[in-house]
Amino acid sequence: MEQTNPVTPPSTTNKAKIIEGALYVAGKPLDLHTLASVAKMRSEEKVKQITRSIVGRYGQSETSLQVLELQDGRFVMQLKPEYANSVKKLATRKLLTPGPLKTLSFIALKQPVTQSYVVRVRGKLTYQHVKQLEDFELVSEAKLGRTKVLRTTRTFADYFNLSQDTRLMKKQLERLFKEFEPDKDGEKEEDT
């Protein structure tokens, strides 16, 4: 007669591996509810403890990846910024061309902003840019009379690792843009 072993629930170590795998596969921030569901756990507090231990482990290891806890309580696994330029040519996601990227930057800084105003400032190609940005779920629209009000989305904030809070996001963007401003001679200094 064949002997059967009782099924034992996965250990905390196994739960941590499942959570780590979920963060890797998702490629975007995940909330505690989602992580608890994937790991088949009821306690979101326990999920938070396990995930924070993963954050700590990645923080101490010499890897190109990091796991971060975002301000809104979600967690994300991502490439450390210092390695992005070296591997960006291998990225499978479509990258935005300069036109839509400039339109996206304008919307992010001025949001909420009417599409008609963006078109006046950026030109008629803005309609195509906005459509592309909506397709990538970086911008959302809401009807306002004969025009639309444009805002960035949660996907935008996640993708560019920015705050969900619009005020904080605008400050983060202003700081980033200042870093990329040309120096007094008209050229950006090269890193040495």
pLDDT tens per residue, range 32-67: 999 999 999 999 999 999 999 999 999 999 999 999
Stated as kind and residue range, the H or E segment containing 160 is: none
Answering whether pTM is above 0.75, one says: no
106-137 tens-digit pLDDT:
999 999 999 999 999 999 999 999 998 998 88
> CATH code at 69?
1.10.10.10
Is the previous residue joined to 182 through a cis bond, with omega within 30 degrees of 0? no
Structural domain including 30 reads: 12-81
Is 118:150 a contact under the CB 8 Å cutoff?
yes
- Please state, in angstroms and rounded to a whole number, the distance separating the CA atoms of residues 17 and 50: 10
| CA 71 from centroid of its chain's CA atoms | 12
Residues 74 and 119 in one domain: no
